[in-house]
Amino acid sequence: MKFFLFFILLFPVNLWAISIQNFKEEYHKIEKMLSERNLLCDKQYKEIIQKAYRQIPDQTNHDIYEFAKDEQLASTFISKFDPTLTANLSEYYFVNFILANCNEENSKIIIELESQRTRCSDIFDEFHFMQALIYATKNFNWSTETIVKAKKLILDYITTQNDPKENAILLVQLLSYDLLALMLEQSLLDKNHQKIIMNAKNQAFVRSQQLKNELKKDSKNKTIPSLCDAYKKNINREALLGQKTRSELIAILKELPKK
């Protein structure tokens, strides 16, 4: 989960940060609090996500992901998948804690702790699961009941990933728009929604490029800032852009029927 580690290390300094020992203790308390949930998340990853689809290399260098063809087996995977037990939804506990307590003294400890922390799955594994499921609804001879159930799961997953209570992460939103665009392509969504979804998707991409360009520009600055406050303004930018993108996405999701 290099993505989350990258963003976690970019948060600003808290001048009243706790000592290294207290930091480690509080960090491990969060781990303990989430241990049961992460076990369930890991179980979902191993028993559902990994088994539900396979990757098929393609000559065009675009990998194809194929869901289980057997409808009964596929329906079981769909029914058992819990959108709340996913990679993104544990991270904000650690992000918020590190955001509040990062300083130069404990920055190396943060790197060490984050590199050792067990994460239940990768957001891209979940994304490929959903991609494969979308393709399956169009290409496999499934019943209407299974297709409706699949569509509901995909929209529930996207909605849960963009919960307003959590940190606004542009990557999550970009992947969400990719799934919505694929649902349009595979006729899982009415074409009446196409214009607003694609316009919002394009705006999200523009914002991500804006953030990327600003980060690249700042990286050329000859003054080397401290680890914890080096990207403070960039995280503020990301949060602002992410919140705006997420609010647009949530508004769209509210208009989409789940049947």
Residue percentage of the chain with pLDDT more than 90: 44
pTM for the model stands at 0.82
Task: Please give the pLDDT value at position 122.
Answer: 79
Task: Please give the pLDDT value at position 3.
Answer: 44
CA 74, CA 69: separation in Å to the nearest integer?
7
Regions of the chain with pLDDT less than 70: 1-17, 58-62, 88-90, 165-168, 221-236, 258-259
One-letter amino acid of 200: A
Token digits of residue 153: 């799961």
Burial 107-120 (b: 16+ CB within 10 A, else e): beebeebbeebebb
Task: Please give the pLDDT value at position 5.
Answer: 41
Cα atoms in the Cβ-side hemisphere of radius 13 Å centred on 157: 29
Q: Please report where in the chains the tokens 């819990």 appear, as a residue.
A: 82
Task: Please give the pLDDT value at position 44.
Answer: 93
Task: Please give the pLDDT value at position 9.
Answer: 40
